């Protein structure tokens, strides 16, 4: 009798273990793109968290950050698979809302990452404080151009939360704190370095006295740098970027770019998965998870703390 009881108990334990294995959470992450090294670093962090928390994830995004419709299709396809939770970095902070409402109706927790949405549906957003980071870039710009002169800005878009916040963070800090600096142009290059190069050259032609240029993401910054190079203005126009990547790192080492803001993309990816798991466990947490930012230039680029958050 005792032997039969032991066998039955072992069988029940095996069934329970199999049931737990079958319940491994599935969490798709829909990013804003794949063309920048930033997103590969976010993916790296997400994969590390998936391993640490024993969940299954997928990580995908459109080829270009201009492809809002394709990202929405990816979001719809992910929801159709009935995931346990969802990570989402919106290209358009309003276009995705109907699909996020579907997720809410299906009790699928949504964690926003990198770029929030104009909705309270995401339980939290794991991201850089982009307003504060861009304002810091404005302070550095003012310092480097002597507190006076004309500057211009190229942003990746005016629909994502990151685009809006980085633009406003930079522009509002200049307007509120530096009355002798004039922002002569704000343009949008879809995060594409070729389009941003053309925009930068046109701005330089229209404003020959330009003293500074801010590129609000990796593609924008490289476009600005290339435009300044092609117009023969290296050393005459201060270039400040955002993000990192091999080209920006090389440009900062060479002095062609004065410096840039780097985020913590591995941390963004990791925290997105971590907080999705917390949500599935019913835990409570803040509406914003600040993953931090750093200013880097040729004086600190080899500091171990900076090197740890540069992605190339």
Task: Please report whether residue 13 resides in a domain.
Answer: no
Task: Tell whether the model's pLDDT for residue 31 goes beyond 90.
Answer: yes
Task: Tell whether the model's pLDDT for residue 97 goes beyond 90.
Answer: yes
Task: Tell whether the model's pLDDT for residue 60 goes beyond 60.
Answer: yes
Do 93 and 196 belong to one domain?
no
Do 98 and 108 belong to one domain?
yes
Q: In 3-state terms, what secondary structure has residue 44?
A: helix
What is the spatial order of strands in the sheet that 181-188 belongs to? 181-188, 149-155, 210-215, 238-242, 259-262, 294-296
To the question of pTM greater than 0.85 for the whole model, the response is: no
Q: Name the H helices within the chain.
A: 2-22, 37-53, 68-80, 97-105, 130-144, 161-177, 193-206, 218-230, 246-254, 265-280, 304-307
Do 46 and 103 belong to one domain?
yes
Task: Tell whether the model's pLDDT for residue 1 goes beyond 60.
Answer: no
Task: Please report whether residue 283 resides in a domain.
Answer: yes
Backbone phi, then psi, for 101, in 5-degree steps? -65, -35
- Ranked by mean pLDDT, which of 32-41, 199-208, 300-309 comes out on top? 199-208
Q: Of 239 and 13, which is predicted with more confidence?
A: 239
Confidence band of 20 (pLDDT split at 50, 70, 90) = very low
Confidence band of 199 (pLDDT split at 50, 70, 90) = very high
Task: Please report whether residue 62 resides in a domain.
Answer: yes
Do 170 and 117 belong to one domain?
no
Mean pLDDT computed over every residue of the chain: 92
Give the least confident one: 21-30, 50-59, 164-173: 21-30
Do 180 and 286 belong to one domain?
no
Alpha-carbon 181 to chain mean position: 28
Backbone phi, then psi, for 139, in 5-degree steps? -60, -45
Task: Please report whether residue 144 resides in a domain.
Answer: yes
CATH number at residue 81: 3.40.50.2300
Mean pLDDT across the stretch 269-287?
97
Q: Which residues are bridge partners to 261 per DSSP?
A: 242, 295
Domain that holds residue 38: 25-128+265-292
Alpha-carbon 116 to chain mean position: 10
Residue partners of 261: CB distance under 8 A and separation at least 6: 133, 134, 136, 137, 241, 242, 243, 293, 294, 295
How many domains does one find in the chain? 2
Task: Please report whether residue 227 resides in a domain.
Answer: yes
CA separation for the pair 220, 217 (Å, rounded): 5
Do 144 and 243 belong to one domain?
yes
Give pLDDT tens digits for 119-162. 899 999 999 999 999 999 999 999 999 999 999 999 999 988 89
Do 239 and 283 belong to one domain?
no
Mean pLDDT across the stretch 271-282?
98
Do 35 and 67 belong to one domain?
yes
Task: Please report whether residue 2 resides in a domain.
Answer: no
Rg of the chain on CA atoms, in Å:
22
Task: Please report whether residue 312 resides in a domain.
Answer: no
CA distances to 87, 208, 263 from 60, in Å? 11, 42, 20
Do 274 and 219 belong to one domain?
no
Do 93 and 56 belong to one domain?
yes
Residue 137 burial (C-beta neighbours within 10 Å; 0-12, 13-18, 19+): buried
Using the 3D structure, point to which of 240, 262, 284 is the last residue of a domain.
Answer: 262
Q: What is the pLDDT of residue 248?
A: 95
Q: What is the pLDDT of residue 134?
A: 98
Task: Please report whether residue 306 resides in a domain.
Answer: no
Do 118 and 156 belong to one domain?
no
Task: Tell whether the model's pLDDT for residue 26 goes beyond 60.
Answer: yes
Do 154 and 254 belong to one domain?
yes
């Amino acid at each position: 009798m005792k032997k039969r009881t032991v066998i039955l108990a072992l069988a029940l334990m095996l069934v329970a273990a199999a049931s737990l294995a079958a319940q491994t959470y599935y969490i798709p992450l829909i990013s804003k793109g794949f063309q920048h090294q930033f997103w590969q670093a976010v993916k790296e962090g997400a994969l590390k968290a998936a391993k640490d928390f024993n969940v299954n994830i997928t990580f995908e995004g459109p080829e270009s950050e201009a492809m809002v419709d394709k990202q929405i299709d990816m979001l719809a396809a992910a929801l159709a698979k009935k995931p346990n939770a969802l990570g989402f970095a919106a290209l358009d902070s309003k276009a995705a809302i109907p699909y996020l409402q579907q997720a809410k109706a299906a009790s699928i927790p949504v964690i926003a990452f990198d770029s929030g949405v104009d909705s309270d549906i995401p339980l939290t957003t794991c991201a850089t404080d982009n307003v504060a980071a861009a304002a810091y870039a404005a302070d550095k710009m003012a310092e480097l151009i002597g507190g006076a002169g004309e500057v211009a800005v190229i942003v990746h878009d005016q629909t994502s939360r990151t685009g809006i916040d980085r633009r406003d963070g930079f522009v509002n800090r200049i307007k509120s704190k530096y009355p002798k600096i004039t922002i002569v142009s704000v343009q949008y290059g879809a995060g594409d370095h070729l389009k941003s190069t053309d925009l930068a050259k046109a701005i330089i032609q229209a404003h020959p006295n330009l003293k500074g240029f801010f590129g609000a993401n990796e593609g924008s910054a490289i476009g600005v740098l290339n435009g300044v190079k092609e117009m023969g203005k290296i050393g005459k126009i201060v270039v400040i970027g955002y993000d990192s990547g091999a080209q920006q790192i090389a440009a900062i080492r060479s002095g062609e770019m004065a410096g840039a803001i780097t985020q913590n993309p591995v941390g963004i990816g990791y925290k997105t998965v971590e907080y999705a798991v917390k949500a599935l466990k019913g835990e409570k947490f803040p509406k914003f998870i600040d993953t931090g930012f750093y200013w880097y230039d040729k004086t600190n680029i080899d500091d171990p703390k900076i090197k740890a958050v540069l992605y190339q």
